[in-house]
Amino acid sequence: MRRPFVIGNWKMNGTIESSRELAVAADKEARSLSEIDIGICPPFVRIAQAAQVVAGGPLQLGAQDCAKQSDGAFTGEVSAKMLEAHGCRLTLVGHSERRTLFGETDADVAQKAQRALEAGLMPMICVGESLDERNAGRTEERVGSQLDAVLDRLQAEQTADLSRITVAYEPVWAIGTGLSATPEQAGEVHAFLRRRIESRDPKAALRIRILYGGSVGQDNARALFSESEIDGALVGGASLDAEKFAKICQAASRSIHRSESDRSG
Ligand code: PGA
């Protein structure tokens, strides 16, 4: 079983004070649930503050995005190297809000993933289909091509072994809508993504974690985590409430104990 990972994506939310409180609460949760990984992705300007809170502890600090360039005259951008220097261990790339609202292409996402790996960050590659694509039976085609764009580039550049990436399956229709994919729907897509990785690198396919994201909350976390293909969750809205986020982390932790007792019983 892969080690579960629950990560909060705060998006463009929070004050200096509320961000500190959320980071402190997540840090406490990460220290008490040692059998899972927990992370937070604050907005860029809160990363240094969060780094002070997580320093030396197990809570993983991540960014929501990084530049596709390494450095130079790119006004407004933040490089993967800078994020690493401020204590980040990972960065999201290709979140659907970046793709749909800011016009990020598959090629941009692939470049960002490469920059992240070069800087020593774990890229969390977000993929997901729109409602129209799902209704047209094109889910696999869409998420397959989003993933391939990144894997093609990483393999062509020989940047690193593929097992250093994480994938987040986030159906666009489930993000922020309260309408989560069912564990079966998500499980099917996760299995498809894993087979896709397996066809290139069977060893990496066993190790790469595939998280689910899209309206994960305290009420559906347990069911989602009981699906063996779901290795954790990328949590948006519910990660802005320390108690809800803690409950999701606790559900992930309990899912380990359940699957252990299933195996022994
Ligand atoms: P949500 O967002 O949990 O609010 O649906 C998930 C995400 O965008 O990562």
Write the CATH number for 237: 3.20.20.70
Burial 27-62 (b: 16+ CB within 10 A, else e): bebbeebeebbbbbbbbbebbeebbebbeeebbbbb
**Between 23 and 256, residue with greater pLDDT:** 23
User: For residue 238, how far is its CA from the centre of ligand 1 (angstroms)?
Assistant: 8
**Which residue's alpha carbon is at the smallest distance from atom 1 of ligand 1?**
236
| Residue that the structure tokens 């489930």 belong to | 174
CA-closest residue to ligand 1 atom 7:
236
218 burial level (CB within 10 Å; 0-12, 13-18, 19+): middle
- pLDDT of residue 103 exceeding 90: yes
Across the range 116-121, mean pLDDT stands at 96
Instruction: Summarize the confidence of residues 178-186 as an average pLDDT.
Output: 94
Average pLDDT over residues 23-42: 98
Residues 6+ apart with CB under 8 A from 251: 218, 221, 222, 225
Which of 235, 241, 245 to mutate for ligand 1's pocket (most ligand atoms within 8 Å of CB)? Answer: 235
CB of 91 shorter than 6 A to ligand 1 = no
- 264: pLDDT strictly greater than 90: no
Would you say the CB of residue 54 lies under 6 angstroms from ligand 1?
Answer: no
Q: For the chain, how many structural domains are there in total? A: 1
pTM for this entry: 0.96
Q: What is the mean pLDDT of residues 107-116?
A: 97
237 close to ligand 1 (CB < 6 Angstrom) = yes
Residue 214 Cα: closest atom of ligand 1: 5
Question: Whose Cα sits closest to atom 2 in ligand 1?
Answer: 236
pLDDT, average across residues 238-252? 98
Gap between the Cα atoms of 209 and 163, Å rounded: 9
Catalytic residues: 95, 170
User: Which pLDDT score is estimated for 161?
Assistant: 73
Please compute the mean of the pLDDT values over residues 148-166 and round it to a whole number: 87
Q: Among 8-17, 68-77, 160-169, 195-204, which is the least confidently predicted range? A: 160-169
Predicted local distance difference test score (pLDDT) of residue 23 = 98
Cα–ligand 1 centroid distance for 265 (angstroms): 35
Residues spanned by the domain of 109: 5-264
234 φψ region: left (φ > 0), alpha (ψ -120 to 50), beta (else): beta
* Per-residue pLDDT, 157: 81
With the most atoms of ligand 1 within 8 angstroms of its CB, the residue from 179, 215, 219, 224 to mutate is 215
Average pLDDT, the chain: 95
Residue 160 has pLDDT above 90, yes or no: no
